[in-house]
Each structure stands twice: as structure tokens, then as C-alpha cells.
Structure 1
């Protein structure tokens, strides 16, 4: 079981479903959500500026990322998250969750070192079992 994951999606129903499936599958102890890439980056910026020397900074071990979102989409998030500014989080794995399975998107996702998979929405318990074995 993972300690913490982050779900980034602009659809509240998708986020609720994601939480329910993750809890049902005992996949993670804590689920954090963001409604777009900008919110997710704000979350990581807050983590970067939290100085707690006595305890290690707790951060998500996995991100479920939607691609098509208002304000900042998944690709923009990945472009920024993949820079040196966020290098302290480079062990976090990303699973792209999308409603479209465009071969170009699959190919583009492979160009990001942190992306470990590209899966079709909605998330299911069998997907989580598959990911447990992959992580």
C-alpha cells in the first residue's frame, strides 16, 4: 500500500470515483486531489517551502494525471514538473489517466521519465492491482 497519492482531474465525479476505488482496493493511505495542473504545482511548491528538518517531507509516491483540464492541462504540468525546479520530487511516478487513447498521446507520454503508464478512464480495481505489481 502506498502512503500518499495525488489525483489531478478537473471532473469532481472522476475524483470521487478515483477515491472510492483506491480506498476499496486499499491502494493508498491518503488521497490528495487537485483540479488542474496549476493546483498540483501549487501543492508541490508548498511542499518545497515547508521546512521541517526533524521529519522527512511527506509527498505523494504516485500521481494519477488527467490530460485535458482547464487552467493547466496534464502536458503543461508534466513539462514544468520535469524541470530542475522539481527535481526533489523526481522519484514520484505518474500514471496518465485519459478518456482518449490517442497513439500520439501514448508516444508523448513515453518521453517523460516519470510516466510509468497511460491508462484509460475510469480507474478500476484491476488497474490498481496491475499498478501494484508494476511499482
Structure 2
């Protein structure tokens, strides 16, 4: 079981579904959410500041990231995350793009981001979580 999973999606129903499925699969002790990439970057920024100040922090080892969001989309989030150097601070953090897009370009573009380990289509299911859980134990 992971300590923490981060779900980033602008759709409140998708966030609620993510929480329920992750809870039922007993995949994480805590589920953190954000409704766009800007909120997600702020979350990692705040964690980085606490870590730099010497605080002991727990960060999500896995983030489920939507692509199509207002304010800052998933691609902009990934670019900003890397530009800020968070991959060096949170070395074990990995990302799964969870999207309803059917554009093959989006699937291929995830390969340009070494921190993205998979692309999954919405909606999230218990079977998807069980599969991830078996890979992360």
C-alpha cells in the first residue's frame, strides 16, 4: 500500500470516483486531489519548501494526471514540474496519465516524459488499481 496518491483532474466526479476506487482497492493510505495543473504545481512547491526547511515530508509516489484541464493542462503541468526540478526532490514520484483522449499523439507524447510510467483511459476501474497495486508492492 502506498502512503499517498495524488489525483489531478478538473472533473469533480472523476476525482470522487478515483478516491472511491483507490480506497476500495486499498492502494493508498491517503488520497490528495487537485482540480488543475496549477493547483498540483502549488502542492509540489509547498512540499519542496517544507523539505528545504528541513521538515520531514511524505509525498505522493504516484500521481494520476488528467490532460485536458483549465488553467494549466496536464502537459503544462509536466513541463513545469520538470522545469522546477521537482523530479530531483521527489525521486520516487511517478505519473500515470489518466485521460479520456483518443488522440494517438497524446499517448505517444507521454513517452517524452521519463516520469510518466503509463497512459490509461478513463474511467478508472478497480481492476486498473488492482493491476497497479500488484506492480507497486
TM-score range, shorter chain: over 0.9
Q: Which residue of 1 aligns with 2:37?
A: 37
Structure 1 runs of 4+ off > 2 angstroms? Answer: none
TM-score normalised by length of structure 1: 0.93
Q: 2-side partners of 1:79 and 1:90: how far apart?
A: 16
How much has 1:134 moved relative to structure 2?
2.9
Q: Which residue of 1 aligns with 2:128?
A: 127
The Cα offsets for residues 75-119 of structure 1, whole Å up to 9 and x where unpaired, read as 000111123531202320101000113211111001100111100
Q: Secondary structure at the match of 1:38?
A: helix
Q: 1-side partners of 2:16 and 2:114: how far apart?
A: 28
Q: Residue 84 and residue 10 in structure 1: after superposition, are their counterparts in 2 closer, same or farther (change >3 A)?
A: closer
Aligned length: 134
TM-score normalised by length of structure 2: 0.92
Where do 1:1-135 residues align within 5 Å?
Answer: 1-51=1-51, 53=54, 56-86=56-86, 87-135=88-136
Gap runs ≥5 in structure 1? none
Gap runs ≥5 in structure 2? none
